[in-house]
Amino acid sequence: MKVGIIQQHNTPDIPDNRRRLGEKIKALACEGAQLVVLQELHDSLYFCQVESVDNFDIAVPIPSDTTEFYSRTALESGIVLVTSIFERRAAGLYHNTAVIFEKDGSIAGKYRKMHIPDDPAYYEKFYFTPGDMGFEPISTSVGRLGVLVCWDQWYPEAARLMAMRGAEMLIYPTAIGWESSDTDDEKMRQREAWITVQRGHAVANGLPVVTVNRVGFEPDPSGVTGGISFWGSSFVAGPQGEFLYQAPDNTEAVAVVDIDMKRCEQVRRWWPFLRDRRIDSFSGLTRRYLDD
């Protein structure tokens, strides 16, 4: 499968961010991409650096003019498209939602982000209600896609459940970077941990992983922190965790990556982790902590 990724630096100009994405999607399709993956909350700046009720104004319902734009782009490009939308489900009820469009422009499915962080500069719990759709792969013309979102990527349980439900690929639209007060050594540790844990999901499940991050500096509107430098480094890993592509950490990137989907079957034959799981001994995983 040929997978296109777009690592973009956003500005406050939402229509322009969207226009640039549309142009890049069509260019990737011309290069042979069958599936295109966008970064988390790709239409706007990463607004979760502050807690402001005014930011709910940029949320959109599904369907909306926003989803119509990406539906039309998928149709005109003839590709399956993974998007990331700030969803207005109802007044006072919002989600961080991945919407997947089929080649004909229809919505193949959606996934609402399950794990919601709440850290300095990442105040997502203020905005997003945790997802209520579970970990269910989306069936598309290019396969069953295990779409998760950003903070989900730190949880092996989420990747495993997607794999157990038949996902053929794990996909993570992402918005993560460095806060200015961290030391250079700490910054490097954070990024390497982020890469390593996701490569581990590829290995443990015998599946390719596609991770698309945003890039560039976005200031903190409140001035409380020094803003976030999103570290890019988008990557595609094969079913043994091997790098098939890695983007730079400081500039935009657009790429088409070849993934040998048949290799996953062979890797799972060599390493039959699903066969050897001791499911009779895993009941503790449904508890918060084993302290008795």
pLDDT digits (tens, 9 = 90+) for 30-83: 999 999 999 999 999 999 999 999 999 999 999 999 999 999 999 999 999 999
- Edge-to-edge strand ranges of the sheet holding 177-179: 177-179, 228-231, 215-218
Q: Can you give the pLDDT at residue 180?
A: 79
* Span 221-257, pLDDT tens digits: 999 999 999 999 999 999 999 999 999 999 999 999 9
The reply to whether 235 falls in a domain is: yes
Q: Is 150 a catalytic residue?
A: yes
Residue 94's φ and ψ, nearest 5 degrees, are -130, 150
Q: DSSP letter string over 223-264? A: SSS--EEEE---EEE-TTS-EEEE--SSS-EEEEEE--HHHH
Sign of the CA dihedral 182, 213, 83, 132? Answer: negative
Q: Is 40 a catalytic residue?
A: yes
The reply to whether 26 falls in a domain is: yes
**Band of the pLDDT at 172, cuts 50, 70, 90?**
very high
Does the pTM exceed 0.85? yes
Place of tokens 């498209």: 81
Q: Can you give the pLDDT at residue 182?
A: 86
Number of folded domains that form the chain: 1
The reply to whether 291 falls in a domain is: no
Q: Can you give the pLDDT at residue 46?
A: 98
Cα separation, 192 vs 49, whole angstroms: 23
Question: Residues 103, 124, 150, 218: which is the catalytic one?
Answer: 150
Element spanning 87, H or E: strand 80-90
Cα separation, 96 vs 10, whole angstroms: 18
* Span 79-116, pLDDT tens digits: 999 999 999 999 999 999 999 999 999 999 999 999 99
Cα separation, 35 vs 74, whole angstroms: 9
Q: Can you give the pLDDT at residue 112?
A: 98
Q: DSSP letter string over 112-140? A: E------BTTB-GGGT-PPPSS-S-PEEE
Q: Is 30 a catalytic residue?
A: no
- CB–CB of 26/78 below 8 Å? no
CATH of the domain at 253: 3.60.110.10
Q: Is 246 exposed, middle or buried (0-12, 13-18, 19+ CB in 10 A)?
A: middle
Q: Can you give the pLDDT at residue 181?
A: 82
Whether 191 has a pLDDT exceeding 80, the answer reads: yes
The reply to whether 230 falls in a domain is: yes
Question: Residues 24, 103, 110, 113: which is the catalytic one?
Answer: 113
Q: Is 269 exposed, middle or buried (0-12, 13-18, 19+ CB in 10 A)?
A: exposed
The reply to whether 120 falls in a domain is: yes
Query: Which residues form the domain of 267?
Result: 2-277
The reply to whether 138 falls in a domain is: yes
The reply to whether 166 falls in a domain is: yes
The reply to whether 287 falls in a domain is: no
Q: Can you give the pLDDT at residue 179?
A: 83
